[in-house]
């Protein structure tokens, strides 16, 4: 597997990390918002992955 051509996994991982970061901001407010932001980050990564991969 060539890492340079595997941009889809980088997008999924990056948006998941963004979701965790946003969720940590709202963690004092609600734990459900934290979990929801992680799921939104994963979902956004899965939607964007086919558009950025070259294959």
What are the tens digits of pLDDT across the range 19-34? 999 999 999 999 999 9
Q: Is the pLDDT of residue 14 over 70?
A: yes
| Region of residue 39 (left: phi > 0; alpha: psi -120 to 50; beta: else) | alpha
Q: Is the pLDDT of residue 1 over 60?
A: no
- Please report the beta strands in 1-55, taking only residues with DSSP state E, as ranges in sequence order: none
């Amino acid at each position: 597997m060539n890492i340079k051509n595997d941009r889809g996994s980088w997008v999924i991982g990056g948006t998941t990390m963004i979701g965790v970061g946003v969720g940590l901001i709202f963690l004092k407010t609600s734990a459900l918002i934290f979990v929801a932001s992680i799921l939104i980050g994963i979902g956004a990564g899965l939607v964007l992955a086919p558009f950025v991969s070259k294959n």
